[in-house]
Amino acid sequence: MADEPLVLGIETSCDETGVGIVRGHTLLADAVASSVDEHARYGGVVPEVASRAHLEAMIPTIQRALKEAGVSASDLDGIAVTAGPGLAGALLVGVSAAKAYAYALGKPLYGVNHLASHICVDQLEHGALPEPTMALLVSGGHSSLLLSTDITSDVRPLGATIDDAAGEAFDKVARVLNLGFPGGPVIDRWAREGNPDAIAFPRGLTGPRDAPYDFSFSGLKTAVARWIEAKRNAGEEVPVADVSASFQEAVVDVLTRKAIRACKDEGVEHLMIGGGVAANSRLRALAEERCEAAGITLRVPRPKLCTDNGAMVAALGAEMVARDRAPSDWDLSADSSLPVTEPHVPGTSHAHDHTHGHGHGHTHEHVHEVSAGNLHGA
């Protein structure tokens, strides 16, 4: 245990300021400060509001994580941070903070991929990821099918959303139903009281000529909105529970069907589901049912690890250290469209040695001596 890498991870790709601390595959701390309430009145995430919230929350959240883990900043073997994809301004806050801590402490810096982190977080729940693993990532910004043979270096996209991501569709349907924001949890709750077969909503991109692994939820969202509008125009009451259940069923039916197909086509026996929508109870239940029927092992982290968090970034950072991947350079920048084929942003300008911990070749000893004491509890 003690010789496993101890890594702090920072996640600021959207509206959650997440700081996690991981030792190997063991989660020691998972501190999150959310600005979701500040965005609720706008019905969606406002990038400038998110960036300012990250600035305010960063240091207190790092302090909370270190205290929860019972470690000091100088104990760390590395600092990992989401370099992309995400909102550019929000990402920059996290990257800047990570660089400052890593530089001052003389620790290696790892800029990692948000999507790859969502896959890697499952190691904190179920142990080492099988290689290969099929990953279905579903959130407000992404609906992706990814094949990972090495989470630190080889993640291949098989399919993605071509318009609205699943989480985005949940938010938009919730808005039409006047259920508030975010839409996923509230629709999940209403759906439990409804009939999933009450309304025959369309299943996008499921025809024989359609892209087998790509997703489209824009047509579904429009169909739901028109159905609700027709009811209201006729002066009829909208059955919120039935609409929620039928819409949700249409989404999870497509997601699970395509994921199982990808596993079978690629000969992969493990399916991991991650991202915020993976917290959806019906998605979990249907995936379990279909995986069991297909002889595929399903891995889904607990709901708190599915939404954006620092633990997932720390998990991938710890894997980078364990596999001796090159740290990022000090000129690491945020990349709002960082492709998932790049699980991390490796540096090129310096050697990777073990000066202290798993440090950089040039660790600025004077900075380390002066600042480590100041950051001891920071």
Where are the domains positioned within the chain?
6-121+309-374, 131-301
Same topology for domains 6-121+309-374 and 131-301, yes or no? yes
Count of beta carbons in the 10 Å neighbourhood of residue 178: 9
Sign of CA dihedral 172, 177, 178, 183: negative
If 0-12 CB within 10 Å is exposed, 13-18 middle and 19+ buried, where does residue 48 land? exposed
Token match 């595959």: residue? Answer: 25
Closest CA to 132 of 102, 153, 109: 153
Give the pLDDT of residue 16.
Answer: 87
pLDDT single digits (tens) 353-376: 433 333 433 333 333 333 333 343
- Mention the CATH class of domain 6-121+309-374: alpha beta
Count of beta carbons in the 10 Å neighbourhood of residue 323: 12
- DSSP letters for 112-159: EEHHHHHHHTTHHHHSSPPSSEEEEEESSS-EEEEEEEETTTEEEEEE
> Which residues of the chain fall short of a pLDDT of 50?
350-378
Closest CA to 95 of 52, 120, 58, 45: 58
Give the pLDDT of residue 366.
Answer: 32
Give the pLDDT of residue 141.
Answer: 82
Its CATH architecture, for the domain 131-301, is 2-Layer Sandwich (3.30)
Element spanning 30, H or E: strand 26-34
Closest CA to 214 of 159, 157, 165: 159
Give the pLDDT of residue 214.
Answer: 95
